[in-house]
Amino acid sequence: MENQISPELKPYRQPDHEISADYVNRWSPRAFSPEPIDDESLMRAFEAARWAASSYNEQPWRFLLARTDSDRAKFLDLLIPANQEWAKTAPVLVLIISKKTFTMNGQPNSVNQFDAGTASGYLTLELSKLGLISHGMAGFDRDRARTVLNVPADFDLLAVFAIGKHGDPALLSEQVREREVPSGRRPVSESVMEGGFTLPKEKSAEEDTIPDA
Ligand SMILES: Cc1cc2nc3c(=O)[nH]c(=O)nc-3n(C[C@H](O)[C@H](O)[C@H](O)COP(=O)(O)O)c2cc1C
């Protein structure tokens, strides 16, 4: 099964072009097993994130980790209720923050979030390759998180990621279980624009016309 699209994802996800199945196999379930994950796997994922490119190699990302019961309760309390409902079983929560200025000269770093996003992509891809799942959340109280977690003013609070092992979707509430479906994507051709910004090609009037019988 090395580098194959996983059978549970295949009905929902078929790439238009041949790529490593690793990209397609990463998805964001909400059914987390409460089973802990081993430290080494987690550190391997942070190691992957470490090698992301960044402007002037600033590496603006930082990862605030919650693994103990008391830390997890503290982080969980910062999430919006809709996220708390399923994230509460995840054994690890990580808040990704990003430094807004360059360390070398204190000037604003306009691409800090872009670079931290790259790092989070590497992190989640590595977790998936290790057989773990992750689910990002923008739904949390940033102001309260800044205070509770002592985040300095020079850092943006970007997203909290739940990390763990895939659990049993049957244990989710009915409302959450209904959303436990792998997402698809629009075609590559609708994201790539040749030569400048172009609107998606409209269907021509003829294509819409039903031919005469
Ligand atoms: C930065 C970020 C924030 C997100 N915020 C939430 C959130 O607050 N709650 C939620 O249920 N899912 C959230 N998601 C999950 C997205 O909805 C999901 O990644 C997207 O639908 C694509 O699905 P996939 O990750 O399974 O490929 C977030 C994802 C990212 C990357």
For residue 200, the model assigns a pLDDT of 72
Pocket test for ligand 1, best of 5, 137, 186 (most atoms within 8 A of CB): 137
8 is a domain residue? no
54 is a domain residue? yes
- Rounded to the nearest whole angstrom, what is the distance from the C-alpha of residue 212 to the centroid of ligand 1? 46
Q: Whose CA is nearest to atom 15 of ligand 1?
A: 136
16 is a domain residue? no
CATH number for the domain spanning 65: value is 3.40.109.10
Q: Whose CA is nearest to atom 5 of ligand 1?
A: 137
Range of the domain at 48: 22-208
Ligand 1 atom index nearest CA of 27: 26
For residue 208, the model assigns a pLDDT of 52
100 is a domain residue? yes
Q: Whose CA is nearest to atom 10 of ligand 1?
A: 137
Question: What's the rounded Cα separation, in Å, for the pair 107 and 98?
Answer: 14
Question: What's the rounded Cα separation, in Å, for the pair 142 and 159?
Answer: 9
13 is a domain residue? no
Q: How buried is 152 (Cβ within 10 angstroms: 0-12 exposed, 13-18 middle, 19+ buried)?
A: exposed
Report CA-CA distances (Å) from 108 to 101, 103, 154: 4, 10, 10
164 is a domain residue? yes
Ligand 1 atom index nearest CA of 30: 11
For residue 166, the model assigns a pLDDT of 97
Phi first, then psi, for residue 161 (nearest 5°) are: -115, 130
Q: Which element (helix H / strand E) includes 114? A: helix 112-129
- Rounded to the nearest whole angstrom, what is the distance from the C-alpha of residue 22 to the centroid of ligand 1? 18
Q: Pick the closest to residue 60 from 96, 86, 88, 36 (CA basis).
A: 96
Q: Pick the closest to residue 58 from 100, 120, 95 (CA basis).
A: 100
For residue 11, give every residue at least 6 positions away whose Cβ sits within 8 Å of its Cβ, in sequence order, or none.
none
Is the Cβ–Cβ distance between 160 and 95 less than 8 Å? yes
Expressed in angstroms, the distance from the first to the final Cα of the chain is 50
Q: Which SS3 state, helix, strand or coil, does residue 200 take?
A: coil
73 is a domain residue? yes
| DSSP letter, residue 160 | E
Per-residue pLDDT of the chain (213 residues), as tens digits, is: 458 999 999 999 999 999 999 999 999 999 999 999 999 999 999 999 999 999 999 999 999 999 999 999 999 999 999 999 999 999 999 999 999 999 999 999 999 999 999 999 999 999 999 999 999 999 999 999 999 999 999 999 999 999 999 999 999 999 999 999 999 999 999 999 999 999 877 655 555 555 444
Q: Whose CA is nearest to atom 12 of ligand 1?
A: 137
Ligand 1 pocket list (CB less than 6 A):
27-28, 83, 135-139, 159, 183
102 is a domain residue? yes
Ligand 1 atom index nearest CA of 86: 11
Q: Whose CA is nearest to atom 16 of ligand 1?
A: 136
Ligand 1 atom index nearest CA of 117: 1
Count of structural domains, the chain:
1
> How wide is the angle at C-alpha 127 spanned by C-alphas 123 and 133, nearest 5°?
115
Q: Which element (helix H / strand E) includes 101? A: none
Pocket test for ligand 1, best of 12, 28, 125 (most atoms within 8 A of CB): 28
Is the Cβ–Cβ distance between 145 and 77 less than 8 Å? no
Question: What's the rounded Cα separation, in Å, for the pair 150 and 135?
Answer: 24
